[in-house]
Structure 1
């Protein structure tokens, strides 16, 4: 860090250099009348009162110009010193400033389970939760993912004594009503909690968790759903710790969950 003495020395050198460059311009002339034996009339004699290299008697210019220059140097040093005081070094400063790390995933929701009871995000608090977004009319991806979830929670509980709450949130509430969803999930694992609800509520939750889905109309009244098939691991504080894709199998998923828990305070 530059000190005040270093800054003062630097500006002093700059000042001397400036005065040397301006030497031809900064001379002050005065007239002094004196008698001469050669001339009967008095004529003025011109003397240089102030010059950079001349050694003359002190005058007002001798003090005013250096004082003005030193005042400028002091002002510049003061401003620079204040700038240094305001500067924050790397790793220091106010640590309470929020750092934007990316889009926030998750948020409040209000849906109903397979027993038509209202479920909100507060009901998941206090549990390690594996939240999956899908739909029961999926021909292959969703059934495979539900089987993987069922095996993964078995491995975590039997081998590691870790309980994870599995939750299935439908993105097709028009067909996945509570009774249909209950019968569907029962075929895979009765521990899986099914969530459905009004279209607007389901869409809002999907938006909160950055889940993409789109209805693709077909002939008649039939339709398909294009979806991202997101699966999230939530902490007991409802923080999203990991997002898992369809590339995890029944052995990889529980290990990935354990790795995420080990990194979590």
Structure 2
């Protein structure tokens, strides 16, 4: 009788504990998280390794995607350097690799060789992709990003592009968007501290 009573008390305590846990507010990421994750339309891009990159190259890893170009004077090198610093911390929260893809939005000047040299400077977990606008624009637009196209024949120009970072899950689907912070007088960049906090939550919940 005493053992039965103890079992009942333990069961009640367990149920109460679960109820309290579910009642308490759960930590929520600041990023825009897609639930369920969104399918990325089929694409084919030129990879910095000299191979074609398609949807299958995003599978089996967490991938951070962002638009940029090698002539970019501020946002791109800043973002690349920040991601290089934060990658080891992100990797601690994932059993699969965490990679970075820079999507070049300057096909006129960024050929495969130039992108390879640029991305390899930041480490082996960095990969570059490019394509002519006919293939590039639908891919970038499908991710919810944008970029400007220079006038025909223009040589010395800047490319306006999104500063947000896209997170693709190990199934190759769009999982979240980390938006850039806009501060007057400063270039728009994603907070790496917030990105790391959000990634930990997202990776923990991912199945």
* TM-score, normalization by structure 2: 0.69
1:225 Cα deviation after fit: 1.1
1:113 Cα deviation after fit: 1.0
1:141 Cα deviation after fit: 0.6
Q: Unaligned 5+ residue runs, structure 1?
A: 1-100
Q: Please point out which of 106, 131, 134 is paired with 2:68.
A: 134
Q: Is residue 64–residue 165 contact of structure 2 (8 Å, CA) maintained in 1?
A: yes
Establish whether residue 259 from structure 1 lines up as the match of residue 201 from structure 2.
Answer: yes
Secondary structure of 1:210 counterpart? coil
Show the 5 A alignment for 1:31-42. none
Establish whether residue 196 from structure 1 lines up as the match of residue 130 from structure 2.
Answer: yes
User: Kindly tell me: are residues 112 and 220 of structure 1, through their superposed partners in 2, closer, same or farther at Cα, counting changes over 3 Å?
Assistant: closer
Q: Is residue 131–residue 169 contact of structure 1 (8 Å, CA) maintained in 2?
A: yes
Structure 1 vs Structure 2 CA RMSD: 2.5
1:105 Cα deviation after fit: 6.5
Show the 5 A alignment for 1:1-265. 106-157=40-91, 159-160=92-93, 162=95, 163-217=97-151, 221-247=155-181, 248-265=190-207
Secondary structure of 1:241 counterpart? strand
Secondary structure of 1:214 counterpart? coil
1:220 Cα deviation after fit: 5.6
Number of residues of Structure 1 aligned to a counterpart in Structure 2: 163
Secondary structure of 1:194 counterpart? strand
Larger radius of gyration: 1
Q: Is residue 127–residue 165 contact of structure 1 (8 Å, CA) maintained in 2?
A: yes
Q: Distance in 2 between matches of 1:219 and 1:236?
A: 40
Specify which structure has the bigger relative contact order, considering alpha-carbon pairs within 8 angstroms and separated by 6 or more residues: 2
1:219 Cα deviation after fit: 9.8
Q: Is residue 120–residue 127 contact of structure 2 (8 Å, CA) maintained in 1?
A: no
Q: Is residue 218–residue 224 contact of structure 1 (8 Å, CA) maintained in 2?
A: no
Q: Which moved more, 1:244-253 or 1:112-121?
A: 244-253
Secondary structure of 1:238 counterpart? coil
Q: Is residue 99–residue 126 contact of structure 2 (8 Å, CA) maintained in 1?
A: yes
Q: Unaligned 5+ residue runs, structure 2?
A: 1-34, 182-189
1:110 Cα deviation after fit: 0.2
List structure 1 runs of 4+ shifted beyond 4 angstroms.
216-220
Q: Distance in 1 between matches of 2:152 and 2:142?
A: 28
Q: Is residue 169–residue 195 contact of structure 1 (8 Å, CA) maintained in 2?
A: yes
Secondary structure of 1:223 counterpart? coil
Q: Which moved more, 1:137-146 or 1:218-227?
A: 218-227
Q: Distance in 2 between matches of 1:176 and 1:209?
A: 21
